[in-house]
Amino acid sequence: MTLDSIAREIRKDVVRMHRRGSNVGSAMSAVDILTALYFDRMHLPSPDDPARDRFILSKGHAAAALYATLAQKGFIDRSTLTQFLADGSPLMGHPCAGLVPGVELSTGSLGHGLALTVGMALAAAHDDETHRFFVLMGDGELQEGTVWEAAIQAARLGLDSITAVIDANDLQGYGRVGEIQPVETLARRFDAFGWATAEVDGHDLTQLSETFARTPFEPGKPSVLIARTVLGKGVAEMEDRLGWHYFSVPEDKVDAFVSEIDGETP
Q: Which residues in this chain contact Mg ion in the complex, by CB under 5 A? A: 138-140, 169, 171-172
CA torsion, ordered 188, 191, 197, 201, to nearest 10 deg: -20
Closest contact distance (angstroms) between CB of 171 and Mg ion is 5
Do the beta carbons of residue 169 and residue 231 sit within 8 Å? yes
255 secondary structure, DSSP code: H
Instruction: CB nearer to Mg ion: give 102 or 108.
Output: 108
Do the beta carbons of residue 25 and residue 33 sit within 8 Å? no
Instruction: CB nearer to Mg ion: give 141 or 260.
Output: 141
CA angle 5, 11, 12 (to 5 degrees): 90
Instruction: CB nearer to Mg ion: give 31 or 100.
Output: 31
Instruction: CB nearer to Mg ion: give 173 or 216.
Output: 173
Sign of CA dihedral 229, 64, 98, 107: positive
Closest Cα to residue 139, out of 95, 94, 186, 107? 186
| DSSP-derived pairing of the beta strands 162-168 and 223-228 | parallel
Residues with Cβ within 8 Å of 169's Cβ and at least 6 positions away in sequence, in order, are 26, 29, 138, 139, 229, 230, 231, 240
Closest contact distance (angstroms) between CB of 56 and Mg ion is 17
| DSSP-derived pairing of the beta strands 175-176 and 162-168 | unpaired
Instruction: CB nearer to Mg ion: give 57 or 159.
Output: 57
Closest contact distance (angstroms) between CB of 197 and Mg ion is 18
Do the beta carbons of residue 133 and residue 223 sit within 8 Å? no
Closest contact distance (angstroms) between CB of 266 and Mg ion is 26
Instruction: CB nearer to Mg ion: give 6 or 142.
Output: 142
Closest contact distance (angstroms) between CB of 53 and Mg ion is 24
Closest contact distance (angstroms) between CB of 247 and Mg ion is 16
